[in-house]
Amino acid sequence: MIDVEDLIALVRNYNPKTNADLIREAYAYGLEMHEGQFRRSGEPYFTHPVAVAAILTEQSLDDATIITALLHDTIEDTRASYQEVSRRFGEEIAELVDGVTKLTNLQLSSTETKQAENFRKLFMAMSKDLRVILVKLADRLHNMRTIKSMRPEKQLQKARETMDIFAPLAGRMGMQWMREELEDLSFRVINPEARNSIIRRFITLQRETGDVIHKITNDIRTELEREGIEADVFGRAKKPYSIWRKMEEKQQSFSRLSDIYGFRVITRSDLDCYRVLGVIHQRWRAIPTRFKDYISQPKSNGYRSIHTTVSGRDGKRVEVQIRTRQMHEVAESGVAAHWSYRDGVRAQNPFAVDPTKWLTTLTERFENAEDHSEFLEHVKMEMYSDKVFTFTPKGEVVALPKGATPLDYAYSIHTRIGDSCVGAKVDGIRVPLWTRLKNGQSVEIMTAEGQRPQATWLDIVVTGRAKAAIRKSLREEDRERFIKLGRELARVAFEHVGRKATEKALATAAKQLSLENSEELLSRLGSAELTASSVVRTVYPELVRESGEIDSQRAVLGLSEGQSYHQAQCCQPVPGERIVGITYRGKGVVIHTIDCPTLEALESEPERWVDLQWHAGPHAAEHTVSLDLTISNDTGVLGRICSLIGEQKANISDLKFIDRKPDFYRLIVDVELRDIEHLHAVMLALEAESDVARVRRHRDLGRRP
């Protein structure tokens, strides 16, 4: 445990005017209150508050925050009271300790309704004094660093909560170093095999290529010295979790992943940042689309820096971040820079965000949320997403999450504007509604009376507000059509098991599924929010599978005992097709067809391939295949198509429209089949139908296994 004088020395390093006596008194009081208490590791409990205080000294925080860290568990876990803490250490510190105590008691990973309520309390506490969340984040960081002493199930719960809530919150507040460490500590618990695999590959790579970081750092320093630019250069390998996330997102192996190294150049001035950029681009080839200027367009959390990715030594991609010392302090500390001290006085960093203004904006937006889901959508948008700042034609700023489209912009102005949107102009040029907006663009929305939202819009928008408004409009407009379609889907599905979709059967299913009535059930069935098989299974579970058929759990031969599998979504293999298994950490074995194009990327990893084959017996109709249909836009056509599929003893599990024209509809229909022969029979029957212009198997090679 850190001695009190050592702790005071850490504070004096950046604040020579610290109130050492008050820190000593808080240290002694905390030690006394926690006497006889121990952590699961067996250490005295007070080692934890002291460690939290030491973490906060790394951010050069004020005395009140350091003392709050020493006392943050006293009101909750000891005989100490708010009144006594206030009397001995002052009202400010008592308020901070009480605020941290309330945050500790919030269950942020509970049910949606409770989670929304607790998030609201979290931001209210933060709005009173943001230092409470700084202490709480440091508290969580130390707990994650020492998590091994907890029970395995508790470790997993804390790690997931940290990954889902506290790490993104640290990132949203600009404390990127803390976000990365929290993510990596959580990753170590959630997926230790993946993390260890990445570390082993790093060691192998270093053995093969030598110390790349040292070499590239020296290269950059040499180029800058040649141009007479004073700057500090640092390099590092990216965190295992960051690398794993890129591997998952890009579906690439470690050997094919680029820019796993990052470098920072810390300059003396803004002008030098751009001079450094010029030197680097002259020396190494820049990668198109991998340049971002956050100095001229700062992030909303105060982050400023230039990012560029270049082809460095041996063609390896490296990311370079260029910033001044003041920008670097904000990049490291985020909003904590607002309270940091230097040489005994509060540091005045012009780039540190105003936390009060940020939180006020945040809480005002939350107050306008109509329901819990919308509230949580706002929370996630604020915490988890970078912002894009756009302008109205009158010059007013509209903040949207990264990836937002003109439709998101329209709905952010008013639901009526979004619903009636027929087009958009960005910087005066007409653009498609799915265009991704960029910082600084001016957006103008064109509307037309009688225009209504389309189902395809749901795939275009990213904000919760826009999605909720579109779904509401579609439900109202299409309810009758969905009910009609749902009734047809239900009829076919019930007849498939030798029963009729009577009103009583539908009402019973609705009751079991906690729906208001049978019309609501049919509406959801028709809009693909429910599957026909799930409705039938609710009423007649014993009839869903015929006796003697091989269910999906026994369908594959060649798996090890206890080994789980599922079918790849990219190629959707069915019995009768040649298959191969690929092992994925945390997913078991994923089955692909032998000709699946995604297998090409795995040719260099033969140890992951598993020789498999389908069971030779009759299979249950549980294997989903997506069909891409283009059909006539005439009355009754869709109903006939559903009936035709049902006549082939196949069940429709999902249906979605992807294009609607005046004369034709294009849709994707998910059908549950027995085997490849069953698939051919269904497709042949559809091809023979005069209202079907085209039918083909839909393979989505962009989907993850």
For residue 516, count other CB atoms closer than 10 A to its CB: 10
Q: Looking at the structure, tell me whether residues 158 and 11 fall in a common domain.
A: yes
User: In terms of domains, do 85 and 62 share one?
Assistant: yes
**pTM (2 decimals)?**
0.54
The burial of 652, by beta-carbon neighbours within 10 Å (0-12 exposed, 13-18 middle, 19 or more buried), is given as: buried
Same domain, 280 and 155: no
Q: Are residues 339 and 415 in the same domain?
A: no
How far is it, in rounded angstroms, from Cα 702 to Cα 705? 9
Question: 689 in a domain, yes or no?
Answer: no
Which amino acid is present at 55?
A: I
Q: Per the residue annotation, which of 77, 223, 293, 549 is the catalytic one?
A: 77
Report, as ranges of residue numbers, the positions in the chain whose pLDDT lies below 70. Answer: 105-127, 208-210, 248-259, 289, 300-301, 312-315, 334-387, 478, 542-552, 586-587, 701-705
382 & 272 share domain: no
CATH number of the domain enclosing 415: 3.10.20.30
Give me the DSSP letters along 182-206. HHHHHHHHH-HHHHHHHHHHHHHHH
Burial tier of 514 (Cβ tally within 10 Å: 0-12, 13-18, 19+): exposed
d(Cα 317, Cα 631) in Å, to the nearest integer? 48
Q: Cα(65)–Cα(84) distance, rounded to whole angstroms?
A: 18
Which amino acid is present at 442? Answer: S
- Number of domains into which the chain is organized: 4
Among candidate residues 25, 76, 117, 180, the one labeled active-site is: 76
Concerning whether 76 is annotated as a catalytic residue, the answer is yes
Angstrom distance (rounded) from CA 523 to CA 529: 9
Instruction: Verify that 127 and 165 share a domain, yes or no.
Output: yes
Q: What is the pLDDT of residue 160?
A: 87
Residue ending a domain, among 470, 499, 528, is: 470
At 409 the pLDDT is 93
* pLDDT score recorded for residue 628: 93
**305 in any annotated domain:** yes
Q: What was the pLDDT predicted at 323?
A: 94
Sign of CA dihedral 229, 234, 238, 242: negative
The pLDDT of residue 547 is: 44
In a domain? residue 56: yes
Q: Is 476 a catalytic residue?
A: no
Q: Say how far apart CA 589 and CA 529 lie, in whole Å.
A: 28
Residues 171, 200 share a domain = no
b/e map 145-161, b = 16+ CB within 10 Å = ebbeebeeeebeebbeb
Q: What pLDDT shows up at residue 200?
A: 83
Q: How far is Cα 396 from Cα 640, in angstroms, rounded to an integer?
A: 52
**Is residue 673 assigned to a domain?**
no
Shared domain check, 150 and 15:
yes
Pick from 149, 154, 147: nearest CA to 188: 147
Q: How far apart are CA 704 and CA 506, in angstroms?
A: 35
Q: Which residues contact 390 (CB under 8 A, 6 or more apart)?
A: 397, 398, 399, 400, 409, 437, 439, 440, 441, 442, 443
What is the domain extent for residue 440? 368-470
203 with 177, same domain: the answer is no
Do residue 224 and residue 168 come from a single domain? no
Domain boundary among 614, 641, 661: 614
pLDDT at 76: 83
266, containing H or E segment: strand 261-267
